[in-house]
Amino acid sequence: MTTVWWTIVTKAWTATRRVSVLLAAALVATACGSGGGSSDTVIGKASTGHLTIAIAEDQPGSSLKGLNGDYTGFDIDVAQFVAKELGVDPSGITWRSTVSADRETVLENGSADMVVETYSITDKRKKVISFAGPYFVAGQDLLVRLNDGDSITGPESLNGKRLCSVAGTTSAQEVKDKFAQQTKLVEYAHFSECITALLARIVDAVTTDDLILAGYASQNPELLRVVGKTFTQERYGVGVRKGDTASVSKIDDAITKMISTGAWNSSLQHNFGGTGYKIPSPPEITER
């Protein structure tokens, strides 16, 4: 009687274990999604037909929110091209406006799937998130008032001057550390606030990447000018969550296609062709 009882118990336990294994496998398959990526990766999210992309809303030519709520600019074109290659139509994109200081945060907390926001690839940032790209290489420069003559000719001429940039970037500190230790740094949350301060003579210059400054100068050509003396190299990448290597590879493929088809150059010509900005050659994709 004891032997029969033990046999029944053993068979029941074996059957229960098999069911548990099958349920676990089903849950893993569901998490991976139809696109073959985990649900917390970019390609996993894209398989649902929707992506949330963090962008700026106040950078003319790069990423600007219009009065009708639409976004335009080179970054927007890049984001839409990448999304389309991942299977997401423009109607499936939710744009999430963010500021420079929060770009890593929105990826870490999951409130954005990608960041496409003139986002320079740096070793410090790569410790926290992963990058695809670069999709553009810019250089840091200065924006000054047109009627200030030639008093500011480059970063080394900023001693005693008030220099503006935004929180979450390294632009202003780069100038202070390497070129003009007596520069007085002023920070705002948005570049548009720096432009207002420059026009109001609260600051003497604004520093960030030349592409961004060219957009602002084109809006106020009778008041502002870009100095035109770059002193860094800024490689723009598409930011994703740390370790999402499969998505990085897919995004790199999309950027490569955008360049090879001429869509990359067409977007830059459309957004910066009338600003006097010299469009550079396409970058080499390195973040694979």
Which CATH number covers residue 151? 3.40.190.10
| Least-confidence region, from 161-175, 183-197, 255-269 | 161-175
What's the average model confidence in pLDDT over 66-79? 96
Q: Is the pLDDT of residue 29 over 80?
A: no
Shared domain for 101 and 221, answered yes or no, is: no
How many structural domains compose the chain?
A: 2
Shared domain for 211 and 127, answered yes or no, is: no
The answer to whether residue 12 is domain-embedded is: no
Cα–Cα distance for residue pair 192/189, rounded to 1 Å? 9
The answer to whether residue 105 is domain-embedded is: yes
The answer to whether residue 60 is domain-embedded is: yes
Return the pLDDT at 45: 96
Average pLDDT, the chain: 88
Assigned token pair, 51? 């992506």
Shared domain for 110 and 59, answered yes or no, is: yes
Q: Is the pLDDT of residue 17 over 80?
A: no
Shared domain for 82 and 122, answered yes or no, is: yes
The answer to whether residue 118 is domain-embedded is: yes
Shared domain for 119 and 72, answered yes or no, is: yes
Shared domain for 221 and 96, answered yes or no, is: no
Shared domain for 102 and 242, answered yes or no, is: yes
User: Contact at 8 Å (CB) between 92 and 154?
Assistant: no
Q: Is the pLDDT of residue 150 over 50?
A: yes
Shared domain for 152 and 122, answered yes or no, is: no
Shared domain for 60 and 200, answered yes or no, is: no
Return the pLDDT at 172: 85
The answer to whether residue 13 is domain-embedded is: no
Return the pLDDT at 37: 57
Shared domain for 96 and 122, answered yes or no, is: yes
Domain extent, residue 187, equals 140-226
Return the pLDDT at 163: 95
For a pLDDT cut of 90, what percent of the chain falls above it?
A: 76
Cα–Cα distance for residue pair 173/141, rounded to 1 Å? 13
| Least-confidence region, from 102-111, 149-158, 263-272 | 149-158
Shared domain for 206 and 218, answered yes or no, is: yes
Shared domain for 126 and 244, answered yes or no, is: yes
The answer to whether residue 170 is domain-embedded is: yes
Alpha-helical segments (H) within 52-190: 74-85, 103-108, 123-126, 171-178
| Least-confidence region, from 34-48, 62-76, 111-125, 258-272 | 34-48
